[in-house]
Structure 1
């Protein structure tokens, strides 16, 4: 991913997200910006202007690994580089394995913006983003673009063997559950909130993902019914992260985005398109009917006795009216072709969204 606006978008998302880690380092290892999960938490007696360095955030021996990857990427004209780092958890001093992608954001290739995630936590909303964003495939990039464009609702993890769900706080709150319900002992299944009309197709596409096995990614648009009886449109991505020895899926990880605003716009465009199509059809054929009436009147006049000047004017009006009729026919044909092209585009958009 080399688009700077997209990088900045992910950086801003990381600052307020429970899923990301974010840090910006200069060439000396000084921390320029970071989220609250990076570096020691200052106490009342600390100097607020005291700089934080790489060794305050990560194991000091990791600096050589980071520098080697940075210089290697710079010499090979790469826009970014990846590196695994051990993050220090303050104030306990525990270590957490994390995976990072750093992007060059200065002309001297010294200042780097890093976006990372833990790789050892068991819950999907702690490790899931990395599994999706590490992909260099078009599907992985599409998920990033979707998160930047739409609202990330949360993550879910389904254990096939236990038939149990784990869902993130954000997803649970979106479904309408209270904090007490989310922290309670009763399991919460987001699948039961899928609109009944959309559920069979979603299960069908998930089955295709399993049969490939996993080569065809799971992506589906569907409706979700909240506990408040409100309905939203969602876009779900899924990925099998564990398989049994016999090749059956045992654990599935997914994320869900709110695309309600986008779907409302699509529906409005379709309705607007069909309205204009009908309006253009009716108006065009009404005009041609009027032209046909004029030509009929001119034919009657042409059969009547006339002087030379009157005959010349009737022929002139007849010629111009026929040209007008030809223009109308051409306009109708072009309108039909454009509408057909737009209908094909709308159909293809709907088909691709279900792949």
Structure 2
């Protein structure tokens, strides 16, 4: 990811109440940050007392940050991950956060970090600025972006036909630190499932034609190096347009929704199971019950002992109770199907 791309990404983080950003020099001095990172607003006045790492995060986490930074630098990585306990002002409470820090200078040390909470936040606390369509409800955003599910960032240059992802997302797709260093960057296009690429491309075109007023948001599948499928949702926006009003640079983030998709798949399978069960109950089991009741009616016409009549009456009663239970079960299955179809918008065949 280029330095200019990182600067744009940092600005996007500033507009989000979910993401946070901070730039630290080699000694841990805060060079810039969003307004929620420290006890005073961002773009700090240098005449005042400067902020340091320990003013924003638990001081004992510095060693963890320093070790990860040194390891990443020695391995020629573009970025590194670290979990930090952020100090919330003015109450001083600690918030667990996860960060990806990017090296932004040729010399060892200065890093730009993009972070997000590890603990769930209330729906109304989570906003992604222009990433999120105005039509999305806070609850939908809350359901989409949960703890530990932000996979990484992506960017795209339509003119140069270039695209790339952050090293964290590349590692999720199965690339080692050596792979990333050797290739000099991993593209996201090559990992989009072939069946989903055209829809994603169509959504990007609609975003461009609306001059950015229509946000980009698309659920699709990523394919890892090991051919594993990961369902994700991508949010994005055009951060730079050329003089002709054409998109020049697009950036966004990718969130893991794999577990939600697994649940949706299970619900669909359960839905089809209920439909098949209702069919079997209605057309097979009740037909057999009707045959039994017909045979019982014939038996009742025959001469029988008192004991035989009593047994036939018991069989007839139990058979009618079974038929009633089947009808009740079929009705419940049909009602569950209707609820499922109304919630998912699916249409029964």
Match of 2:128 among 130, 133, 149: 133
Aligned to 1:274: 272
TM-score by length of 1: 0.56
Structure 1 residues 337 and 145: alpha-carbon distance in aligned structure 2, compared to 1, 3 A threshold: closer
Whether the 8 Å CA contact 1:209–1:216 is kept in 2: the answer is yes
TM-score (norm 2): 0.57
What residue in structure 1 maps to residue 162 of structure 2?
A: 164
Q: Which runs of 5+ in 2 are unaligned?
A: 1-18, 54-85, 106-110, 117-126
Which residue of structure 1 aligns with residue 200 of structure 2? 202
Indicate the structure (1 or 2) with the bigger Cα radius of gyration.
Answer: 1
CA distance in 1, matches of 2:226, 2:305: 82
Q: Secondary structure at the match of 1:84?
A: coil
User: For 1:86, which of 25, 44, 67 is the aligned residue?
Assistant: 44
Distance 1:227 1:325 in 2: 54
Structure having greater relative contact order (Cα 8 Å, sep ≥ 6)? 2
Q: Report how many residues are paired.
A: 267
> Is the CA contact 2:281–2:330 (under 8 Å) kept in the aligned structure 1?
no
Match of 1:229 in 2: 227
Partner Cα separation in structure 2 for residue 257 and residue 277 of structure 1: 33
Q: Is the 8 A contact 1:291 1:321 kept in 2?
A: yes
* Deviation readout 1:106-126 (Å, 9 max, x if unpaired): 9xx7557799x9xxx999x95
The 8 Å contact of residues 241 and 252 in structure 1, kept in 2 or not, is answered as yes
**CA 1:317–1:139 in structure 2 vs 1: closer, same or farther (change >3 Å)?**
closer
* Residue 309 of structure 1: how far off its partner (Å): 11
- Listed as ranges, the matches of 1:318-333 within 5 Å are 325-333=323-331
Asked if structure 2 preserves the Cα contact closer than 8 Å seen for 1:165 and 1:187, the reply is no
8 Å Cα contact 1:164-1:187 kept in structure 2: no
Cα RMSD of the aligned pairs, angstroms, is: 4.9
User: Where in structure 2 are the equivalents of 1:1-355 lying within 5 Å?
Assistant: 20=20, 83-86=41-44, 88=50, 110-111=91-92, 133-134=128-129, 139=136, 142=140, 145-149=143-147, 151-183=149-181, 186=184, 188-283=186-281, 285-304=283-302, 325-347=323-345
Question: Could you tell me how far 1:223 is from its partner in structure 2?
Answer: 1.8
Distance 1:150 1:283, change over 3 A: farther
Partner residue, 2:71: none
CA contact (8 A) 2:20 2:114 kept: no
